[in-house]
């Protein structure tokens, strides 16, 4: 057997784990078996926007697939009974307390429920190895669950009696509630093999910190950063422009709970400054959005509008400083404070003069409009320290870096949040950077490296400051891959009534993937990233898809799965988000109606009503060996076969077991 020096070194390292022919052979057999199982079910979600209850429910019902399996396997139950059973699977602890009060024969209820749960568990676990399912079980119930699950429907003599005796023991010793809860959680858990979150976890909704807690405890997840995630990551890195944007958006959507309670960030200095500075200004255009205003007191609305104006003015100053510092950002269109006529209160936008709806700017020096006052600087310094010192926020951001990226290649498909910056004629756009021009995949990779340097770089690294600043460009930059618009019009929306100034033109990408050459454009992008040009698809979010619009683009080669998770978007979109599922039979795209609340889901058995709007039917069932994971397994098999040959030819000596 001829091997190179590096191959021999590798085989010796492999032999430390598989020290005998028997161990190496067993692992090859195991891997071959796994390769020929159907692939696990992957779920793709996007633009969660802090809607933690809706997100949690989607995970619990596996985008509606658990209910489908209940309907398929329990035809002996009435629709009402199946609905109640489904609610039990989603919320076992709360639903059990309700159901137990309704039962005349509690032991019978326990027996029937446990048997049904075992049947359902068998159906959802059929594509996994025993080893994988075991690892997902709670340790205290793992042995009993395995005994009940495998062979529970066997016709072997005594098997049914053995199963029933275990169930009776579970009831007799008083752990039925805990065991039922364990089974329900296991069913929801293994119904989703892999979760892909395509960005925008933060902003809009009330519980981004809760969503992050769910994700951090989830068994298998990856994240493609959205611009709202990048904004919070930049704030955690100390970027003052990002901090100001984060606070302004939280105020606008009455979501200070995430900042103050979720992450322990005090806004006291800002509140004091705002009330002292803008106390006599009604700030009409700074009130919270209409969708959250109904739940607020008038006094809160007035107070928050003054805080919102205070932080917005600081935001525009800080952004203007960044744009001047980095001319290669090409974002001069956002520097508008120096375009204001502070005598007549008009503003020049793109060569046209517009009247402004506000004339109270006590902190702006017309001769140096982007300079913070001493008080503003003191407030921003305190806020920056609060963000940098929030351990909970820093832990969540480190998780986003550990599990996240700007894009991901999965089984020949390409996942990202926003868009690939393109020219009008469908070519990769050149992006000007301080390191020269970039385009295509090179631009995505460069952008990711720079923000990682901004967060993790050493204080004396000259690139760290560039990286910290760059977070803001990624949030709203002209050619940012996670923003995808020519400009963000926050200033115009706050100070100019003419809504023609509010328009945010989209990158040509969004038009091109719906045009006559859409397939060619998608294939060009897939090729650039080394994905499957013939079969691969692009999956992204970011742009809410309204009811009636088709989220499937380019003849099925691109799918946008942002359907409006955030309640603030639902009046526009008419739905409450899309989820994309890929199982061993292909892709299924589902739209979801709004979710009311966890309490109503339990008490009134209200599930999210989901509608299948697109389904891919493959001619051949997808097996693990057809996936990226399967390719990795095959490489491992090939390596182990080399090790076997090395043992058998005496190149490497087997380990003696003692």
**Lowest mean pLDDT across 100-114, 288-302, 392-406:** 288-302
177-197 burial: b if 16+ Cβ within 10 Å, else e: ebbbbbbbbbbbbbbbbbbbb
295 pLDDT above the threshold of 60: no
Q: Quick one: 78 exposed, middle or buried, by C-beta within 10 A (0-12, 13-18, 19+)?
A: exposed
13 pLDDT above the threshold of 90: yes
pLDDT digits (tens, 9 = 90+) for 422-444: 999 999 999 999 999 999 999 99
**Lowest mean pLDDT across 179-183, 259-263, 450-454, 597-601:** 597-601
Q: How confident is the model at residue 155 (pLDDT cuts 50, 70, 90)?
A: low
Distance of alpha carbon 132 from alpha carbon 514, whole angstroms: 41
Question: SS3 of 586, please?
Answer: strand
Mean pLDDT of the chain: 90
- SS3 track for 9-78: HHHHHHHHHCCCHHHHHHHHHHHHHHHCCECCCEEEECCCCCCHHHHHHHHHCHHHHHHHHHHHHCCCCC
Which residues make Cβ contacts (< 8 Å) with residue 505, sequence separation at least 6? 485, 486, 487
Q: How confident is the model at residue 157 (pLDDT cuts 50, 70, 90)?
A: low
**Beta carbons of 553 and 539 less than 8 angstroms apart:** no
pLDDT at 574: 52
In 3D space, the residue among 44, 54, 405 whose CA is nearest the CA of residue 197 turns out to be: 44
511-545 burial: b if 16+ Cβ within 10 Å, else e: ebbeeeebbebbbbbbebbebeeeebbbbbbbbbb
**Lowest mean pLDDT across 21-25, 55-59, 121-125, 374-378:** 55-59
Distance of alpha carbon 186 from alpha carbon 180, whole angstroms: 10
Count Cα neighbours of 327 within 13 Å in the Cβ-side half-sphere.
0
pLDDT digits (tens, 9 = 90+) for 67-76: 889 999 999 9
Rounded average pLDDT over 459-475: 94
Write down the H helix ranges in 126-175: 130-136, 142-149, 159-172
**Beta carbons of 393 and 265 less than 8 angstroms apart:** yes
In 3D space, the residue among 396, 386, 391, 388 whose CA is nearest the CA of residue 210 turns out to be: 396
pLDDT at 551: 84
In 3D space, the residue among 273, 228, 218 whose CA is nearest the CA of residue 252 turns out to be: 228
Beta strands in 545-631 (DSSP E): 552-553, 558-560, 578-583, 586-592, 610-615
Cα–Cα distance list, 28 to 24, 626, 632, 643 (Å): 6, 17, 13, 11
Token representation of residue 443: 């631009």
> Which helix (H) or strand (E) is 410 found in, with range?
strand 407-410
Place of tokens 């050493």: 458
**Beta carbons of 551 and 578 less than 8 angstroms apart:** yes
575 pLDDT above the threshold of 60: no
For helices 52-60 and 208-216, give the axis angle rounded to 10 degrees: 30
297 pLDDT above the threshold of 60: no
Instruction: For 432-447, give the DSSP string.
Output: EETTEEE-HHHHHHHH
Which residues make Cβ contacts (< 8 Å) with residue 315, sequence separation at least 6? 241, 244, 245, 248, 490
Rounded average pLDDT over 485-501: 95
pLDDT at 568: 62
Residue 197's DSSP bridge partners are 45, 223
Instruction: For 207-249, give the DSSP string.
Output: -HHHHHHHHHT-SSEEEE--HHHHHHHHHHTT-HHHHHHHHHH
Place of tokens 């926020």: 393
Place of tokens 């000007």: 432
**Are β-strands 578-583 and 42-45 bridged in parallel, bridged antiparallel, or unpaired?**
antiparallel
Handedness of CA 106, 110, 111, 116 (dihedral sign): positive
pLDDT digits (tens, 9 = 90+) for 17-51: 999 999 999 999 999 999 999 999 999 999 999 98
Distance of alpha carbon 255 from alpha carbon 459, whole angstroms: 32
Which residues make Cβ contacts (< 8 Å) with residue 494, sequence separation at least 6? 285, 286, 312, 358
pLDDT at 628: 93
Q: How confident is the model at residue 591 (pLDDT cuts 50, 70, 90)?
A: confident
Token representation of residue 44: 């793709």
Rounded average pLDDT over 607-621: 67
pLDDT at 614: 58
> Which helix (H) or strand (E) is 609 found in, with range?
none
658 pLDDT above the threshold of 70: no
565 pLDDT above the threshold of 90: no
pLDDT at 298: 57
Write down the H helix ranges in 358-439: 374-389, 391-403
274 pLDDT above the threshold of 70: yes
Q: How confident is the model at residue 344 (pLDDT cuts 50, 70, 90)?
A: very high
pLDDT at 596: 67
């Amino acid at each position: 057997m001829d091997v190179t020096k590096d191959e021999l070194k590798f085989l010796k390292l492999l032999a430390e784990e598989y020290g005998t022919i028997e161990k190496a052979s067993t692992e090859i057999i195991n891997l071959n078996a796994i390769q020929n199982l159907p692939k696990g079910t992957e779920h793709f979600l996007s633009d969660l926007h802090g809607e933690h209850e809706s997100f949690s429910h989607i995970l619990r019902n596996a985008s509606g697939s658990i209910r489908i399996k209940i309907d398929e396997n329990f035809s002996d139950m009435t629709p009402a009974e199946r609905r109640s059973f489904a609610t039990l699977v989603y919320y076992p602890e709360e639903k059990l307390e309700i159901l137990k009060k309704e039962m005349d024969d509690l032991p019978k209820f326990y027996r029937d429920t446990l048997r049904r749960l075992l049947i359902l568990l068998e159906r959802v676990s059929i594509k996994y190895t025993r080893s994988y399912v075991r690892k997902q079980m709670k340790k205290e119930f793992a042995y009993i669950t395995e005994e009940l699950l495998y062979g529970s429907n066997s016709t072997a003599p005594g098997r049914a009696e053995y199963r029933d005796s275990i169930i009776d023991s579970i009831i007799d010793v008083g752990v039925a509630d805990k065991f039922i809860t364990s089974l329900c959680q296991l069913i929801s858990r293994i119904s989703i093999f892999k979760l892909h979150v395509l960005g925008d976890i933060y902003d809009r909704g009330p519980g981004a910190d809760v969503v992050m807690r769910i994700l951090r405890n989830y068994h298998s997840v990856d994240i493609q950063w959205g611009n709202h995630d990048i904004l919070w990551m930049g704030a955690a890195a100390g970027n003052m422009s990002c901090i100001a944007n984060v606070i302004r958006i939280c105020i606008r959507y009455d979501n200070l709970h995430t900042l103050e309670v979720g992450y322990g960030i005090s806004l006291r200095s800002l509140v004091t400054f705002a009330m002292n500075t803008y106390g006599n200004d009604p700030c009409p255009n700074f009130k919270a959005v209409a969708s959250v205003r109904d739940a607020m007191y008038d006094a809160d609305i007035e107070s928050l509008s003054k805080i919102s104006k205070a932080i917005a003015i600081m935001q525009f100053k800080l952004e203007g400083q960044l744009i001047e510092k980095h001319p290669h950002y090409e974002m001069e269109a956002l520097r508008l404070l120096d375009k204001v006529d502070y005598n007549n209160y008009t503003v020049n936008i793109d060569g046209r003069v517009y009247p402004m709806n506000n004339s109270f700017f006590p902190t702006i020096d017309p001769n140096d409009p982007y300079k913070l006052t001493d008080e503003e600087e003191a407030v921003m310094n305190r806020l920056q320290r609060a963000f940098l010192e929030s351990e909970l926020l820093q832990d969540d951001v480190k998780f986003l870096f550990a599990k996240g990226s700007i894009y991901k290649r999965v089984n020949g498909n390409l996942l990202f949040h926003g868009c690939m910056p393109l020219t009008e004629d469908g070519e990769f756009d050149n992006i000007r950077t301080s390191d020269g021009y970039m385009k295509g995949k090179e631009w995505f990779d460069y952008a990711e490296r720079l923000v990682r340097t901004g967060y993790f770089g050493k204080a004396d690294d000259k690139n760290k400051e560039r990286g910290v600043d760059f977070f803001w460009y990624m949030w709203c930059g002209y050619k940012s891959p996670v923003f995808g618009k020519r400009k963000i019009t926050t200033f115009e929306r706050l100070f100019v009534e003419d809504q023609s100034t509010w328009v945010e033109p989209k990158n040509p990408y969004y038009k091109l993937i719906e045009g006559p050459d859409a397939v060619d454009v998608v294939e060009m992008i897939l090729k650039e990233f080394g994905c499957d040009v013939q079969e691969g698809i692009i999956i992204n979010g970011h742009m809410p898809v309204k009811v009636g619009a088709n989220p499937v683009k380019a003849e099925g080669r691109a799918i946008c799965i942002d359907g409006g998770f955030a309640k603030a978007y639902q009046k526009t979109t008419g739905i409450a988000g899309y989820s994309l599922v890929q199982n061993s039979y292909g892709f299924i795209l589902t739209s979801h109606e709004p979710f009311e609340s966890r309490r109503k889901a339990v008490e009134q058995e209200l599930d999210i009503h989901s509608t299948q709007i697109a389904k891919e039917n493959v001619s051949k069932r997808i097996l693990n060996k057809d996936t990226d994971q399967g390719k990795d397994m095959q490489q491992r098999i090939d390596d182990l076969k080399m090790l076997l040959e090395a043992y058998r030819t005496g190149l490497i000596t087997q380990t003696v077991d003692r």
